[in-house]
Amino acid sequence: MKHSRIVGTGSFVPPRVVHNEEVGGPLGMDSDQIVALTGIRTRHWAEPGQASSDLAVEAGRRACQAAGIAPRSLDAILVSTTSPDSAFPSTACHVQRALGAGPVMAFDLSASCSGFLYGLSMADAMIRSGQIRSVLVIAAEVKSSSLDAMDRETAALFGDGAGAVVVVQEESVRPEAAGILGLRLYADGAGHGLITIPAGGSRKPSGSGTVRGKEHLLRMRGSAVFRAAIRHLEQAIGDLLKEFGLSAADITRMIAHQANARILEQLRRRLGLPREVVYSVIERYGNTSSASLPIALDQAVRDHRLAAGDLVLLGAFGGGLTWATALVRW
């Protein structure tokens, strides 16, 4: 029976480290306040001219190296981003060219912070159907370019980076075989305005008025997002575990979207997970939107926090509203 398996991970963040003092100064906040509210101490920001594709290429190259797979042998490249190099062509086509991959399918997808799991679900479905045998799934974001330095809801939260996985087709009849067990995706457009960049699309095209009004910068209703993230993810994770006949005690490791340390802690408590099960890198990297989950996953692999046979729970929540969960046997 065909199934998909993650065989390599990679990540990349820009060299520039931005400390709380730098982002907190304009907001009238000190580092301890930011840590208390978010759990973040540092984040990485891209330099001028450094685009999402530049970060994606480095993360993708590292994932291919870890998997022992040459980019030329890939069957597809999927890139999740809400900060593409340009409206079109796709960021994925930039990545395909830079990696030296063949003339294979390459496209972008946009599901905000849930984008990596949306992409992983597409990869899993295409592999299970026999359409492809190997795919590079990347999430890459340069959120610093759309931040308002005076906005308390967003200025201290976001960082830049990219994370990637190589997923391949394998065949096994063993129920305990390593691979992706299941992914579940959700959306609720009623919450569309909770996280948004108001202008720059066909509904509100760019103009001098939108620039003066700072409508090309990220806006978020933080408290509402906080509550919705916990509520939706708790329900979705509970449903996924029930579907597979599992309980929280069966989970070896949980790696979720690194939005806010308080969200992760609330989820941990509500799910009844031991503190050591939840892996987080938000203190170092901040919220890198859709890239945060694969960056954390790669760090967990390289820190030897995952072992063969581990049952790994993945979860993400973001604008749209969107949210997603996954179970992976490592």
Number of helices and strands in the chain (H, E): 10, 13
**With the C-alpha atoms ordered 35, 10, 293, 269, is the resulting torsion angle positive or negative?**
negative
Which pLDDT score, from 0 to 100, does residue 2 have?
A: 84
Tell me, yes or no, whether 252 and 138 share the same domain: no
- Upper half-sphere CA count for residue 32 (Cβ side, 13 Å): 0
Which pLDDT score, from 0 to 100, does residue 272 have?
A: 95
Tell me, yes or no, whether 80 and 198 share the same domain: no
Are 310 and 253 in contact by the 8 Å Cβ rule? The answer is: yes
Number of domains within the chain: 2
Tell me, yes or no, whether 222 and 303 share the same domain: yes
- Choose one of 117, 143, 171: the last residue of a domain: 171
Residue 15: count of CB within 10 angstroms of its CB: 9
Tell me, yes or no, whether 127 and 95 share the same domain: yes
Tell me, yes or no, whether 151 and 238 share the same domain: no
Tell me, yes or no, whether 164 and 29 share the same domain: yes
Residues found in the chain: 330
Q: Alpha-carbon distance 81 to 93, whole Å?
A: 13
Q: Alpha-carbon distance 221 to 27, whole Å?
A: 17
Arithmetic mean of pLDDT, 165-178: 84
**With the C-alpha atoms ordered 109, 111, 113, 116, is the resulting torsion angle positive or negative?**
negative
For residue 219, what are the domain limits?
Answer: 179-329
Tell me, yes or no, whether 49 and 69 share the same domain: yes
Q: Choose among 80, 110, 75: nearest CA to 92.
A: 80
Are 123 and 63 in contact by the 8 Å Cβ rule? The answer is: no
Q: Which residues are catalytic?
A: 113, 257, 287
Which pLDDT band, with edges at 50, 70 and 90, does 175 fall under? low
pLDDT cut 70: percent of the chain above it: 99
Are 14 and 182 in contact by the 8 Å Cβ rule? The answer is: no
Instruction: Report helix, strand and coil shares of the chain as percent, to nearest 5.
Output: 40, 25, 35
- Choose one of 153, 171, 189: the last residue of a domain: 171
Are 18 and 159 in contact by the 8 Å Cβ rule? The answer is: yes
- Give 276-309 pLDDT, tens digit per residue: 999 999 999 999 999 999 999 999 999 999 999 9
- Choose one of 108, 138, 171: the last residue of a domain: 171
Q: What is the CATH number of the domain that holds 163?
A: 3.40.47.10
- Helices within 258-327 (DSSP H only): 261-271, 282-285, 292-302
